[in-house]
Amino acid sequence: MLFQEISFCQGFLALLFTTILVLFIKFLLGTLITRWWAIKYGWNDSYKSSIHLNSFWLIIDLFFSIIFIFVVNGIFLAVICAFVTNILIGTLIASRIYEQKYKKSLIFISFIFIVLLLFYFIIYLILIVIFSIILLAI
């Protein structure tokens, strides 16, 4: 059945599962990119620092994603709110973790988030297509 309807519950669960999966992939990529950037500029190159920073981002992303999925049903609005929050607060956290000035931390965070945002949308779209095909096959 090529044009089979997907129930609201199936679609909602697929969206929730996809969002959580993408956020964990983003966490892993973010940890690697953060550490790579820190090594490149001679900052603290431990995984611990990049995991701390990316854990904060993961918590903020999960919070906004779950709130917006349940309340507004708009994942892209959640991404925008999380993006702004992560840039502002993430810059403060990065400046403390890496002991850098605010401006350097802002550039650091902005670069990482632009790369992660691109990965986020690409991975998200791929997973939505995969899960849609799976749901239609059921």
Q: What is the pLDDT of residues 80-138, one digit of tens each?
A: 888 888 899 889 998 998 888 989 889 989 888 888 888 888 888 888 888 778 877 76
Contact 38, 49 (CB under 8 A): yes
> Is 3 domain-assigned?
no
> Is 1 domain-assigned?
no
> Is 46 domain-assigned?
yes
pTM of the full structure: 0.78
> Is 25 domain-assigned?
yes
Q: What is the pLDDT of residues 27-78, one digit of tens each?
A: 999 999 999 988 988 888 788 989 999 999 899 888 888 887 777 666 677 7
Domain with 92, as residue range(s), is 8-137
Which uninterrupted H or E stretch holds 67?
Answer: helix 47-67
Q: How far apart are CA 90 and CA 51, in angstroms?
A: 13
- Shortest CA distance to 94 belongs to which of 58, 44, 130, 138? 44
> Is 2 domain-assigned?
no
Instruction: Domain count for the chain, please give it.
Output: 1
Q: How far apart are CA 113 and CA 53, in angstroms?
A: 12
- Shortest CA distance to 112 belongs to which of 61, 42, 53, 47? 53
